[in-house]
Each structure stands twice: as structure tokens, then as C-alpha cells.
Chain A
Amino acid sequence: MSLPAFTARGLTRIYRLGEVEVAALTGVDLDLDRGEFVVILGPSGSGKSTLLNILGALDAPTAGSLVFQDHDLTTADDAARTAYRRDHVGFVFQFYNLLPALTAVENVAVVADIARAPMPPAEALGLVGLADRADHFPAQLSGGEQQRVAVARAIVKRPEVLLCDEPTGALDVKTGVIVLEALVRVSADIGATTVLITHNAGIAAIADRVLIMSDGRIAGERANAVRAAPRDLHW
């Protein structure tokens, strides 16, 4: 935990809706270490997704600076941001966002195909315990299975950064635990810096560090001396 993965200073994101301005982020300072597992907690509308989207270069800050390792994402153009996502980032979303036209293994392969040093797609599926469902289409999988495919898709390229926006939000407890287990195990395997958003405080125990957001800023922070295993969580 020496070199920081991310260094953010004064990150601000303002949405302009005609006359009205909505400040989703107001001056966030943040350092994330390599391999760190961070959970962001906060009420709905507090700016969690906005921060995550900026970290993933899906969105750009209105003001402030953001550096990933040696990439300055503040000034990056679209091509550079695409390349950054392609080479370094894995995403997991609340609604899975699988490609319905592709089977499980193909959903993973589609990313492996454009990655620099991916693991075999079947291996990624194995890591999330879905080796036997490789040839099923999303329509043939349950929500939890779809989300595990999404996790496999996110980690197949061995990303340095794993960004998860409420990955268990649409799942029941039992299924959510299975997905979280897959996430924690795999992110440790590949040593990815992981940011996981949730509004479920119970999940925070699995993190190295917990950030609490409200009103577009980081209102609190705590470190867990011991990380809990997902199967020991209760919510």
C-alpha cells in the first residue's frame, strides 16, 4: 500500500438543467491505494454514482483534478478515456447490463477480446462459480447468476480498478452474499483497487476502508481493522 492508485483533489460535478444547477459533487478529495477495497456508503442522491462514474471515466468532473497512477484523467479526451477503461477498469452495475444477444461466456469473451492480458473467459466464469452455465443466454440465468457473469466480465481482463455500483441492489440477501463473495475473492486474486457503492451499511464490514458520502462530499471515513467475510454479514 505504497503508491496511490487514485489521487483526486477538489472533484466537483455540477449538472446544469437549464437555469437550475445541481451540484452532485462539491470538492471531493480522495486517495485510493493500490489493491485497496473501499466501500462507499451514503443516502440516495448523495453523489456516490457520480463519483464512481468519474473514477471510471464515464463522466468528467466540472472542476478539480483526478490522476490514476500516471494518467491525468482530468484532461483526457474521449479516446484516452476509452483506452483507460479498456486497459485498466472493470465495471459491475446494479442492473447487470449484460448483452442479451451473447451467452455468458461470450459476454466475458467480448471484453477478453479487447484486453491486453486477459485470463481465459472460461476461467473468469469459473472464478464466479458459473463454469457450468457458460453457454446460457442472460434470459436463461437468474438475477444473481447474471450479476456473477457481470463480475466475471469485469475481472477477466485482470483490471487494476474494479468499480461496482450497488452490485447487490437488485438481489436478495442469499444471492447478494454469493455475488459479494465472488467479488471479494476475485478482487483479492487479481489485486484490483476496488470501489463498491452501497446504501446498505451492513456490507461495509467487508471493506478495508469505508467512505460515507452526503450532499456531494465525503462526510466521514473509517478503516476496518478486520475485514468480515461476506457469508458472515447480516442485513
Chain B
Amino acid sequence: MQTLDRKVVRDAWRLAPQLGAVAAVMACGVAILVMSWSMLVSLDATQREYAAEARFADVFVHLKRAPEIVGRRLAAVPGIDRLETRVVRDVTLDLGGSADRRMPAVGRLISLSDEADDGLNRLTLLRGRLPDPLEPAETIVSEGFATAHGLGPGDHVFAVLNGRRTRLDLVGVATSPEYVYTIGPGGPFPDDRSFGVFWMGRRGLAAAFDMADAFNDVVATLAPGASLRDVCRALDGELGRYGGLGAYGREFQTSHRYLTNELRELRNMSRVGPVVFLLVTTILMHLVVSRLVGTQREQIATLAAFGLTPREIGAHYVKLALVVLASGAAVGVPLGWWLGGNLAAMYSRFFRFPTLAFRIDPWAVGGSIAVASVAALAGVVQAVGRAVRIRPAAAMQPEPPAVYRPSLPERLGFAGLLAPTTRMMLRHLERRWLGSALSVFGIALGVAVMVLGMFVGDAVQHLANVQFTEVQRFDRSVTLAEPAGRPVIPELARLPGVVAVESFRVVPATLRCGSRERRQEIMAPASGGELFRILDDRGRVHEPRRDGLVVSARLAELLGARRGDAIEVDVLEGRRPRVSLRLAGTVDDLVGTSAWLHADALAAILEERHAVSGALLAIDEARAGELDAALADSPRVAGFVSRDLQLRTFRETIARTLLRMRAVNTLFAVVIACGVVVTTARQSVIERSRDLASLRVLGFTRREVAAILVGEQAMLTVAAVPPGLLLGYAFVVVTTWGYDTDLFRVPAVVHPRTYAISAGTVLAASLLAAVMIRVLLDRLDLVAVLKARD
């Protein structure tokens, strides 16, 4: 067998460019699998370990204000293991800098329990120390905010606490399991520049907000086997009269939810992509090896004549698949490792764990290689089957000429229009219909992966466009510390630079339909407002209704409610009325879940005369700094969000990250496209070299001969592009199902540019292949080819 193994090596070497292309495609598939599977395992383990280690709470509830004795009663609720009361307030921050360039930012101040190193949601100090309980100004800052602003121990920021500008001395930088992913009040994207979390001693914080011996936030862990639902009921019962906003479990905790969602997306990503790559691997492997067996028919017959068993002959071609597998894995595993490291680095910018290390998972590596082996072997099955069926007698007869017949266009009567060389191309493609179809399919998959890879960018751009220019048309969104009467509107309008003011009313509530319930704010925008619009995924504008709730389609689905159904609404503010509202309509919106009601209807339910929770401002940008300073200093304002800043942060973080991912995806797609095109081109040169040498002998020029193969290649590519674009759209649709969560819906919107670039790239790859064909044909040794009979 040793000599035959030498033939494996020689065959592999001769076919190195094709097999290399196959291995490259396989390497991409293996890399994606290794990366996403390992990342999944790493992220999942990190999430679980961190939650356990930092004693991440199971239950959360925010309220208006309750005396501390109530807290002791809560701790006795059956099913609660450990409970902590806290003071939590959002304030506006003043980060210094000149008055006209002050950056608006919101800080969430959270009280530390006195046993901070033993409590729930324990902080992990990355730098510095815990605050001294006797120094009320000493504060710990969240890592994201510290990084975004270059802050650290020894620095300070100013915050407006209940109207008083107060200095916070930063003594430490920490992460918390509660804020692994930080979404500020401005949502829906993380923004470390305009939202930060600060932990400080309870006494100082309580004093500033009139919360001495009181609390407005509760976190708790459950005893083993306790029912989350029962505990939430009990807490809500106790806290109802203290303005409780409804208890909820981890599942609805913002940071936890985003993280879980990301894990799901990762799982999603580890499906479509690798399948495509490995499918292409199979196709290419099949093209290469089946043609190899075709050209080596006489050799195989001779070997059989000398007594080699079918098993030995079959093993010979299986070994070629193993060579490809070995090279694909040798490149793919380290590539996946490297990509995983990068992905982890990227994740650690959004997910603030104490450490997020990418751990390469042996099962992921083994699994990827197993999947890749299946792909490679599937590619050679048919050819091996053919090889072992070749009878020794075949070696004794010269191979008869391949059987051709007139092609379809000729049979349809167009023969007269076609030159003999064109007929040659058509008949060849038709005779090799399976190979031609597989080539077309492979190229189409390249186009499709390209569309899919670029779509992620399109989708996020689309989402941002809709959110930041169509939905949010205001410049500043201001939240008041307490609902106020209408006079606050002219007050805001008088602030420097304010061009227009539109108030809104928003109340926390629990919506219930049958046995399902959701905590959901009800929003009443200013009637006839221009600065905020309710838009669906097709850009249609919806209006809030007086006769019932208009809700996100996704929310209706979560509640199991249909239009016309009655929805029980518990308002969790003020008089806390309980009413039943009709579901008047649904909106296919893209971000989060919302429930809208006409301002008059909400005022009627609340029995108030148009109170105001906050306002949207259109401003004169020239006076933005002045305005931001005034808003920050206003005691009535709990916080405000600058749309420009949100957009800028979005562009600099998420968009940039996605663009980088898109670059990787695009690169992978280019590998597929080139792999398929290059392989088919080289194969056709090998297969047709005898014919083409004959033509050259007959006096055809190099250009004329190359034109035949290039023409075939062009037909395949042109045939592949439209189905490729369609298939790409299908991949996009399937992928958007995976993104369909209550946090985001990604519409299957593909920018025309994406289609153009995808098609263009594949056409460019074909051009490359054309050049390659020409070079290969120029090297064709006429005499040798005519002499050789294989």
C-alpha cells in the first residue's frame, strides 16, 4: 500500500489548488463552529458562574418609598431566602468641561448595604476599594462608564441630588451581576457614555433623598424550591400601598435578559453559517473527486487488474478527503480560536463581567471536526462508489469517446444561431448537468452567504434609522422626578434653546390577559405630537387610541391577546386604579415592547388633569450646551437623554462592532465564492485539456480556446447569481426569526447595495477565475496532452 499512498500524495499535490480551495471553505465552517460553540460555552459558563459567585438576586422590585420596618416584614415572606432593601435613584450627572460642551448623562445611584462584601448582587472591585461608611461622598463607579470617560479612583464627578450639585469621590471601579449589560433610561442600545451606575453608602444617599429609615428598591434570593410567582404575589401585596412597581424575576431583569438573548443569537449564528460552509465543502469535494475518478478510470482498472481489492481502491480516494479534512481542521481550529478571542474581546466591551475569557471547548473542537468529516466524506461517497465498481476489463479497452447529444437550445431549434464552440460549451454543461448544477448551487451559496453576512449591517442600520430618525425625532428626552402639572410645559419651553416641547405621560402597569401577565409601561404621547411617532416595520404611522390600547404585536403575542380582547390593567402609580381596556390595535414595531393610549383616555383612568411625566424637546443646537446645563441643574428633572449622543454612541460601538463582524462574514463569503469558482475553473481545465489542446493544434489561438472555458464559467456564474440572491434573502428571513425577541425585531430588509455587492463579488471572483483559466491554458503542453490518454 505504501506506493499507492505515494499516489495519494501526488494526486493531492497535483490537485493542490482545488483541494486547497475546498479546505479553505471547510476551514471557514470549522472556524465558525469552533468559535460560536466555544463562545456559547464560555459565555454561558461565565454567566452562570458569575451569578452564583456574586449572589445575583432572583427577585427584583422597585417602589416609591416604604419605611424600613416593612423591609423586615418582606424578609419573612415564605420562599424568600435573603432580602435586601436599597435606595436607588437616577440623577443627572455633571462631568465637568466647559458649559457649552457639557455632555448630558444619567447616573443610577445605588445604596451599598453595610456588609457590601457579603450582600446580594455583590460587586467585584476591579480597581480601588469599597467606600468608607463614614465618608458619604465616596463612590464606586461601574466599569463601563469609568472606561468610557477615563475615570478611576481619585477622580470625581458631580451629580445633581435632589437639586443639590453634589460631588462624588470615586474610590473604586467595579462590575455587578445586575449591570453586566447596561441599558440606560434612553435605551434600547447600551450607551456607556451617557449612563453609569454608582454605588455609595446608604446613609449619605438616604439623606440626600429623604429616605432615612426607608427604601425604594428590593432585591432578594429565593429559597430552594420556592415559587417565583408566589413570592412576587406576596411582595406585590405588601408593597402595593407603598407604590410598588411589581416584583419580577431574573427573566425580566434587563441585563440578564439581554445576555440570555445574546446567547440565543449566538446559537442561531452557529446554525445557518456552518451548514452552508460544510454543504459547499461537500459539493466541491464531490466535484473534485468524482472528476478525478472519471479521468483515472484506466488507472483504477489497471490497479484492479493487478489484484487490488475494491476496499483498497476506495480507501485511496477516501484518503484524499482525509487530506482535505486535516488541512481544513488544521487551519479552521486555530482560526476559530483566534476569532473567538476577538469575539470575546468584543463582547467584553458590552458585557461587563469581571473576566470574560474565551475558553476553547474540547467538545466544540471535536464536534466541529466530526461535522467537517461528515461533510468531506459525504463529498466523496459517490465517487468512491463509482471507483470500486470499475471492472479490470476497462483497462484493456481504450476509453470510448464521451457520449454527447445536441443541447436544449439546439433541440428547440436555435442550432443555426450557435457557433460550434458555443455548442461545445452548451453540450458540455448539459452532459455534466449534475456537476454544472452543483457548481451553480455552490456559487449561489457563495452569493447567499455574502447577502446574509452583509445583511446584519443593513438590519442594524435600518433599525437605527427607524429608531433615531423616524420614531425619535426629538433632540432631548426629559424625565421629570415626579409627575407634574401642565405648567411645567411653558417652564421647559422657556429654557435656553428650546424650540418645541411635547409632553408625555407614562405610567408603570401590569397588563393581564387570561393567565398571562406582563409588566409594561403605558405611554401616552402628546396628542398631535410630531417629535415621537408610532411606526411599524413598513414605516406606517399609527396613532394612540381613546377606545383602547395599541400595543406592539410582540406584546400582544406574549399576552396571548388578539384585537378586541379585554386586557386587565393594574396601574402601579398614583391611585393605582385597576381597569379593563380593549386591545384596539397592534403595531409591528422593531424595538422593545410598548403599549400606547391616547393622553385623554389615560388622564381619565388616572382621574387627573393631564399630568406630565416628561417631555420631548426640539432644540436649537447652537445652545445645546446651555440647555443641558440648565436641565442638569433643574431639581424637577430626573434625567435627560440626547438623541445625538445616543446615535453617536450607537455608531461608535454597536455599528462599528457589527461592521467588523460584517467584514469577517464578507471575507468568509469571498472564500466560498472564490473556492467554488476557482475549483470549477481548474476542474474544467483538467477535464477539457485534451479537447482544448486539440483545438490549439488545429490553429485556435490561446484567447479563442480560453474563451470556451471562460464562457462556460460565465454561464455558470450568471445562472447562479439570481438564485443566489433569492437564497440569500431566504437565509435572511430564516435568520430574522432568530432575532425575533421582545428586545428587538429585525426586519428582513436587505439594502439593494448588499445585493449589488454580493453579485459583484462573485462576478469579480469569476473574473479572477477567467484570468486563472487563461494562465493555466497558456501553460498547456500541446504535445504532452495529445500523447497522454488520461
Contacts and interface: CB of A to CB of B under 8 A. Distances in A.
Interface of A: 53, 56, 58-59, 78-79, 82-83, 85-87, 89, 91, 93, 95, 97-102, 106, 109-111, 113-115, 137-139, 146, 153, 170
B423 interface: yes
A214 to B, nearest CB: 21
Given A82-B702, A101-B428, A109-B420, A146 B401 contact: yes
A101 B702 contact: no
A58 B698 CA distance: 10
Indicate the member of B401, B428, B696 with the most A CB atoms within 10 Å: B401
B424 A102 contact: yes
A106 to B, nearest CB: 5
A113 B418 CA distance: 12
A85 B699 contact: yes
Contact of A85 (B400, B419, B698, B786): B698
B342 interface: no
A58 B787 CA distance: 12
Contact of A99 (B398, B695, B702): B695
A102 B420 contact: yes
B13 interface: no
B698 A153 contact: yes
Interface in B403-422: 403-405, 419-421
Contacts of A113: 419-420
Contacts of A93: 786
Nearest to A157: B699
Nearest to A111: B698
Nearest to A54: B783
Indicate the member of A101, A102, A146 with the most B CB atoms within 10 Å: A101
Interface of B: 398, 400-405, 419-421, 423-424, 427-428, 431, 690-691, 694-702, 704, 782-783, 786, 789
Contact of A100 (B402, B697, B783): B402
Nearest to B428: A101
A62 to B, nearest CB: 14
A139 B400 contact: yes
Given A106-B420, A110-B695, A170 B398 contact: yes
A101 B783 contact: no
Nearest to B400: A139
23 contacts: A82-B696, A82-B699, A82-B700, A82-B701, A83-B699, A85-B699, A91-B697, A91-B698, A97-B694, A97-B786, A100-B401, A100-B404, A101-B691, A102-B423, A106-B420, A110-B424, A110-B698, A113-B419, A114-B700, A114-B704, A137-B404, A138-B401, A139-B402
Given A101-B431, A106-B423, 13 more contacts: A79-B701, A82-B699, A87-B699, A95-B786, A99-B691, A99-B695, A100-B401, A101-B402, A102-B427, A110-B424, A115-B699, A137-B405, A139-B400
Contacts of B697: 56, 58, 85, 91, 97
A101 B404 CA distance: 5
Given A102-B423, A102-B424, A110-B420, A139 B403 contact: yes
B783 A53 contact: yes
Contacts of B423: 101-102, 106
A137 B420 CA distance: 13
Contact of A101 (B427, B696, B786): B427
A85 B699 CA distance: 5
Given A102-B424, A110-B420, A97 B699 contact: no
B702 A78 contact: yes
Contacts of A98: 401, 694
Contacts of B782: 58-59
